[in-house]
Each structure stands twice: as structure tokens, then as C-alpha cells.
Structure 1
Amino acid sequence: MKVLLVEDDPQVASFVKKGFESEGYELSVAFDGRTGWSMYQQQPYDLVILDVNLPYLNGVELCQLMRGSRQRIPILLLTALDSLDDKEAGFSAGADDYLVKPFAFRELLLRVRALTKRYAETSTPQVLRLADLELNLDAKLVTRAGQRIDLTTREYSLLEHLLLNQGRIVSRVDIAERVWEVDFDTTTNIIDVYIGYLRKKIDRSFTPKLIHTVVGMGYVMRAD
């Protein structure tokens, strides 16, 4: 499970990081709001923990940005401010929970587990992921590094089929039968053409490249 912690206090950040890593979590740290937003856009996380008082971009503002990115993710705010108005501002920004400093790590862990469990139980969108590429099967929405990518119906179907088989070589015959629903015509290069369209949209401006050609066999999606 990948967690993003945005906290400007090095001691708190170190305390939280050690605790989560001892529990088997993978935790990344940003020390200001601007860096946190950049990291959030670069790769998918399963949970975000935000301090409220951050340099450049405070936690409430950052929470609002994350909620506007269309990614459905649990967000917990950490802060020394415990007034009702402060809590209302945090929840209004889209936070799921609010923990006041100082706190015991065990309480933070319990809240995180409760949040992730609640999201898992109520999660309806089904998302296919590879590196920073996401395909939401319910919303028919494709993003990479947080950027929306517009695809035609055929391009979307081709990408969905490749992602469902990520790590496996998919032949042109299989693509023709599953995506075009026709017998494969060896005289046409339509599949190669559409692979080219997809590469321009999801690979050209991003790293790593995700669509790979296996000469004489077909295509495979993997993050090399």
C-alpha cells in the first residue's frame, strides 16, 4: 500500500515514516504543499496524509486540489489546530478524517486502517492501473500522471484490452477478435495504426513507455 505524507516538520515526518514502514506500508514524504501536489500527480497513491500548515500550499488548499483531480482516495489531515472552524474547513475541503497533534502513532494507524477499509467497501469505480496510467472502467476515463487523455471508442477498447492483459504478450489475432470482433485479415495494418495512435497519446510525452512491440508476436503493456 502506497501512502503520501505531506509534512513540513522533519521529526514528525520521520516518526510517521518509520511507523508505517514497520507495518509494511510504502510511504513517500513531501515537505511542502507544492512538492506534495507534484508527487501526487506523478504516481497513484492509496492514501494521503496532509499537514494543514504547509509552505507554499497549505493542506486545506492541497486537499481541494486533490479532490478536484477525479482520483478517489482517502485523505487524512494532521494539524495542531483543533477548533470547530478549523475542522469544518478541513472537511469542507474534502478530507475524510482529522487528527490533532500531538498524536500516538497507534491512533493514526487505526484511523488509516479504518479509512482504507471504508473506501474498499464503498468503492464502486473499477480502475486499471499501470505505472501512472489509470483507466476508470465505470467513468470510461483515462489519465496519465493526473492528466486526462481523450480517446476514441476504438482506442479506449484497445487500451482496456491491453491493460487487462498487462505483462502478457497479446497477438494481433487476439486484438482483432476481442477489440474489433472480426476474423483477422493479414493484409490490413489497422491494429498497428491504432497502436500508433495510442502511443502518441499515452506514451509520447511520458516516462516510462508502456506499450512495447514484441517482434513477430504482438504487443505487451509493461512499465520498464
Structure 2
Amino acid sequence: MPNVLVIEDDARVAAEIKSALLDHGFRVDGAFNGTSGLSKALGGNFDVIVLDRMLPEIDGLSLLTKLRGAKISTPVLILSALSAVNERVDGLRAGGDDYLAKPFEFIELTARVDALARRKIAAEAVNELRVGDLCLDLINRVLYRADKPIELLPKEFAIIEFLMSNAGTLVSRKMIFESVWGYSFNHESSVIDVHIGKIRKKLDPDGLNPCIHTVRNTGFILRAAA
């Protein structure tokens, strides 16, 4: 039974969210402003946080930034009346895992919370990924090749995690972009290729056989090195 923290300053909306989640089988705690919400989020063991963007005392995005800065990785569903693409992008960039615009149907909210809870459980069940001589330590966030650690920047780590999770499968640039950045893909952007190029330089020094292969005009495949 997942634990959910609902941080929402509108008492009526908070009560309706709590009722919907309880009916779905979740345990629910609540906070009505950013200060108490942050305190509970930092101190509690929650599986999902439902976070209103417009909060008194500490706004939702500032609260989320503080959480991520404190290394709290609990999945966060942002609720907001601000539904424009740039608003969703800001929320996801701040560390949100999903974004639901108000007004919403409670059946969709519970489905999204359920999906985030399942994702957290699945992530906790796997401590590392292995493909050939590559080992990705998901707990300490370190990549090893042939038992040698490789330093990666956060976006590089996210990309290699996605590629290793889909090892042997062709993944498009759009799939990588939406998994790592979480918003609509700009087909004219070279950001994926730039990051892949940097990762390759770190993975394949000293003549080691490559792990990441480009499929022209399509995407990439990560395979165990030959």
C-alpha cells in the first residue's frame, strides 16, 4: 500500500484528492503550505508526492528544487492550473516526474499516482544494470567498464541508463530525449548526438570496442562490446 503525500493549499481540492487516493487503496498524508509540505517530504518515507504548483510560503517549484537538492528522489506529480507547454517544461526541469493540469479527472490522477508508485518500486528492485563489461550502479550512480569507474554528468548518466535498460533495442533520438528531458523533442536539435559523442569518448578509450552504435537517420543501439 503506497504512501502518498498531498501538498495542496485548497482544502476542498485536497480533501477530494485524499478521498480518491484512499478509495484507490493508498495511505495519504497532507500538507497545506510549502513550509509544512517540505518538512514532511524531507522527513517522511513517501512513495509519491502530489504537489500543487501554487502554494503559500514556498511555491511548488521552489519546494521541488529544495527536495532534489537534498537528494530526495521520491516521484513527484505536479498539479497546476498553468497548462502551457513552457509551464510543464519548467515543472519537469525542476525535478517533477509528471504534470497534470487543473481541472482534472480524479480517475486520471489516481492512475498517474499508481504509475509513479510502480515505477519507484521497480527502480528499487534493481540495484544495477549489466551489459557485457558495462555495469551501472544505480544506487551510487557510477558507471564501470571492465571494473574501471567512469565519471558521468547527470544527463550522461540518464542517457546511459536508458540505453542500458533497452540494450539490444534500437531507440530513437525522440525516445531518449523524452525519457531524459521529459518534454517535446526538437527534431532539429543536436543535443542527443553531442551527449552521445561525449559518452562514447568516456566509454571507449584506449581502443576498446564501442558499445553504442548509431543507426543512420534513426537512433542508437547499445550492445555488449565484441
Secondary structure of the structure 2 residue equivalent to 1:28: strand
Distance 1:46 1:32 in 2: 20
Secondary structure of the structure 1 residue equivalent to 2:88: helix
Alignment partner, residue 17 of structure 2:
16
Alignment partner, residue 81 of structure 2:
80
Aligned: 1:62 with 2:63: yes
Runs of at least 5 residues in structure 1 that lack an aligned partner in the other structure: 127-136, 140-224
Secondary structure of the structure 1 residue equivalent to 2:107: helix
Q: CA deviation at 1:122?
A: 3.1
Distance 2:96 2:88 in 1: 9
Runs of at least 5 residues in structure 2 that lack an aligned partner in the other structure: 129-137, 141-226
Q: CA deviation at 1:119?
A: 2.6
Alignment partner, residue 104 of structure 2:
103
Distance 1:19 1:13 in 2: 10
Aligned residues between the structures: 130
CA RMSD of aligned residues (A): 2.0
Alignment of 1:181-196 (within 5 A): none
Secondary structure of the structure 1 residue equivalent to 2:50: strand
Alignment partner, residue 114 of structure 2:
113
Alignment partner, residue 50 of structure 1:
51
Aligned residues of 2:42 and 2:72 also touching (Cα < 8 A): no
Distance 1:39 1:91 in 2: 21
Secondary structure of the structure 2 residue equivalent to 1:99: strand
Q: CA deviation at 1:113?
A: 1.3
Alignment partner, residue 36 of structure 1:
37
Secondary structure of the structure 2 residue equivalent to 1:24: coil
Distance 1:54 1:16 in 2: 16
Alignment partner, residue 6 of structure 2:
5
- TM-score normalised by L of structure 2: 0.54
Which residue identity lines up with residue 73 of structure 1 in the other structure?
T
Distance 2:10 2:86 in 1: 23
Give % identity.
36
Per-residue deviation, residues 134-169 of structure 1 (Å, max 9, x unmatched): xxx944xxxxxxxxxxxxxxxxxxxxxxxxxxxxxx
Structure number with larger C-alpha Rg? 1
Decide whether aligned partners of structure 1 residues 93 and 116 sit closer, same or farther in structure 2, where only a CA change above 3 A counts.
same
Secondary structure of the structure 2 residue equivalent to 1:17: helix
Decide whether aligned partners of structure 1 residues 69 and 125 sit closer, same or farther in structure 2, where only a CA change above 3 A counts.
farther
Which residue identity lines up with residue 35 of structure 1 in the other structure?
S
Distance 2:116 2:43 in 1: 23
Distance 1:55 1:43 in 2: 21
Secondary structure of the structure 1 residue equivalent to 2:74: coil
Which residue identity lines up with residue 52 of structure 2 in the other structure?
D
**More divergent stretch after superposition (55-64 vs 36-45):** 36-45
Decide whether aligned partners of structure 1 residues 89 and 138 sit closer, same or farther in structure 2, where only a CA change above 3 A counts.
closer
Secondary structure of the structure 1 residue equivalent to 2:56: coil
Alignment partner, residue 191 of structure 2:
none
Structure 1 segments, 4+ long, off by >6 Å, are none
Which residue identity lines up with residue 28 of structure 2 in the other structure?
L
- TM-score normalised by L of structure 1: 0.54
